[in-house]
């Protein structure tokens, strides 16, 4: 992998300029009065066998990115190249078939399982629709194998979801996704609803599966500590845009964007010698239907400058990734020519 973190080998998933906005309709005539700018101009790549983390707080659009890639939401524009094809341009039937290699695991393990179906039927459902397993008994055998792989007792396959604990249900969801032989799994806050001790189990399982099967993950979460353990690449999102991206260690050791810095500083540490850090952001997250002009983050930024209020910063290249901040402009090699001349020191 090159120094700036972008894969030089073949790319499994390439997202380009993804934009998912929802129209806001008001009034009797349901006229459109604006947009909820959930995801704006997001681009990134994921290589095979890699974990890419999408991090941010509520309203940042990370879940919408995950769902847009799977076309569970409808993007306004952009491209999602998976296995060589642009998913957004596929016909419904072709999309349905493409879904086999692109699976998703949701946050709430209870809501992700149909309460009225036995778990064996739910794990087998994907197999049936993609034609995996020639007969009922073959599929059953595969269900058994899947359950063992996620460390659940295959004898429990006739039970219903409510008879399992939260962690076990999440394992069932993982088994269900694995059953169709995916290449990339979108993990949408998949461990956020679990207790810390169960979280560790699930994270270890995901790691093992990645090593064993060469899976890629798009790991969506608000919990930066989980990211550090699992991800190779991290992208931080704020109000629909990627504000910083880079290899995991660089993000944690040397965050460039003020929001990333604030996010890291906000994580309460368990080190008994470290406590009482003052919060580095003021105020609350603005609404995605009415984002601030210029740089979306300027209303809460401790380094805000005048130009931040008026101009929208592009993603600048920096050492070890990209940052959407005018503070990074000077270190962007491609900008140095244009910027150096008129500036007075």
Partner 1 sequence: MSALLEVRNLRTVFPGESGPLPVVDDISFSLARGEVLALVGESGSGKSMTALSILRLVPKPGQVVSGEVRLAGEDLLRLPVTKMRRIRGARIAMIFQEPMTCLNPVVSVGAQVMEAIRLHDSINKIDARARTRELFVEVGIPDPDARLDAYPHHLSGGLKQRVMIAMALSMRPEVLIADEPTTALDVTVQSQILALLRRLQSDRGTAILLITHDLGIVNELADRVAVMYAGRLVEVAERKALLSEPLHPYTQGLLRSIPSRSRPGEPLPEIPGVVPPPHQWPAGCRFSTRCPIRFEPCAEVFPEQIRPAEGRRVWCHDVERSMRREGPA
Partner 2 sequence: MMGLEAYVFSNIMTAALLAGAWLLVRVVRRQRLWREAAQQLWGRRKLAIIIVGIYLLIGLLDSVAWKGGVPEDSVGVLPNAPLTLIDRVFLGTLEASYSAPFAAVEFYGAMPLQRPGSHLFGTDILGRDVLYLSLKGARVALLIGGLTSLIAIPLALVFGVGAGYFGGRFDDFVFFLISTLASMPGLLLLIALIMAMGRDTLSVCVALGVTSWVGFCRLSRAETLKLRELDYVSAARALGVSELGIIVRHILPNLAHLIVITFVLMFSGLVLSEVVLSWLGIGVDGSWGQMIDGARNELSREPIIWWNIAAAGSALFGLILAVNIVGDGIRDVLDPRTRKSLS
Q: What DSSP character marks residue 313?
A: P
What is the pattern of x (binds partner 1, CB under 8 A) and - over residues 165-194? xxxx--------------------------
Q: How far apart are CA 69 and CA 80, in angstroms?
A: 6
- Distance from C-alpha of 75 to C-alpha of 54, rounded to nearest angstrom: 18
Span near partner 1 by CB under 8 A; candidates 2-10, 138-146, 152-160, 283-291 = 283-291
Question: Dihedral through CA 233, CA 238, CA 241, CA 243, nearest 10?
Answer: -50
Which position among 54, 70, 124, 224 is part of the footprint of partner 1 (CB under 8 A)? 224
Q: What is the smallest separation between the CB atom of 162 and partner 1, expressed in angstroms?
A: 13
How many residues at the interface with partner 2, by CB under 8 A?
Answer: 35
Which of residues 62, 171, 176, 250 is near partner 2 by CB under 8 A? 176
Query: Which residues, 6 or more positions from 192, have their beta carbon under 8 angstroms from its beta carbon?
Result: 107, 221, 222, 223
DSSP 3-state assignment of 266? helix
Structure tokens, 223: 């919990």
Residue of 163, 249, 253, 290 that binds partner 2 (CB under 8 A): 163
Among 10, 272, 306, 334, binds partner 1 (CB under 8 A): 272
| Residue 263 interacts with which of partner 1, partner 2, none, CB < 5 to 8 Å by class | partner 1
Residues 82-141 that bind partner 1 (CB under 8 A): none
Would you list the DSSP string of 92-147?
HHHHHHHGGGEEEE-S-TTTTS-TTS-HHHHHHHHHHHHT-SSSHHHHHHHHHHHH
Q: For partner 2, what does the binding mask look like between residues 115 and 144, x meaning CB under 8 A?
A: xxxx---x--xx--xx--------------
Nearest CA to 179 out of 136, 135, 120, 230 is that of 120
262 binds, among partner 1, partner 2, none (CB under 5 to 8 A by kind): partner 1
| Radius of gyration in angstroms for the set of CA atoms belonging to the chain, rounded to a whole number | 22
Interface residues with partner 1 (CB under 8 A) are 57-58, 165-168, 195-201, 203-204, 207-208, 222-226, 228-230, 248-249, 262-263, 265-272, 274-279, 281, 283-285
């Amino acid at each position: 992998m090159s120094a700036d973190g972008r894969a030089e080998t073949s790319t499994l998933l390439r997202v380009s300029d993804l934009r998912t906005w929802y129209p806001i309709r008001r009034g009797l005539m349901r006229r459109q009065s604006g947009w909820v700018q959930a995801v704006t101009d997001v681009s990134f790549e994921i290589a095979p066998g890699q974990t890419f983390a999408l991090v941010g707080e509520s309203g940042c659009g990370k879940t919408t990115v995950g769902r847009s890639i799977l076309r569970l939401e409808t993007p306004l524009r952009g491209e999602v190249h998976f296995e060589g094809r642009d998913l957004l341009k596929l016909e419904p039937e072709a999309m349905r078939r493409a879904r086999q290699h692109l699976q998703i695991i949701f946050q709430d393990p209870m809501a992700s399982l149909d309460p009225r179906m036995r778990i064996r039927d739910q794990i087998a459902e994907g197999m049936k629709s993609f034609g995996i397993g020639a007969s009922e008994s073959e599929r059953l055998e595969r269900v058994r194998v899947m359950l063992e792989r996620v460390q659940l007792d295959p004898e429990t396959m006739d039970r219903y979801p409510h008879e399992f604990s939260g962690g076990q249900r999440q394992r069932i969801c993982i088994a269900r996704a694995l059953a169709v032989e995916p290449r990339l799994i979108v993990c949408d806050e998949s461990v956020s609803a679990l207790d810390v001790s169960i979280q560790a189990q699930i994270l270890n399982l995901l790691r093992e599966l990645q090593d064993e099967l060469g899976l890629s993950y798009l790991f969506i979460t608000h919990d930066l500590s989980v990211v550090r353990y699992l991800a190779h690449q991290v992208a931080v999102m704020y109000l629909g845009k990627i504000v910083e991206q880079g290899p995991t260690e660089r993000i944690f050791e040397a965050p460039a964007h003020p929001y990333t810095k604030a996010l890291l500083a906000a994580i309460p540490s368990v080190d008994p010698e470290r406590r009482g850090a003052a919060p580095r952001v003021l105020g609350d997250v603005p609404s995605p239907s009415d984002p601030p002009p210029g740089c979306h983050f300027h209303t809460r930024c401790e380094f805000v400058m005048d130009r931040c209020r008026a101009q929208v910063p592009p993603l600048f290249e920096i050492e070890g990734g990209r940052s959407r901040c005018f503070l990074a402009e000077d270190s962007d090699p491609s900008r140095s020519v244009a910027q150096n001349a008129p500036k007075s020191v």
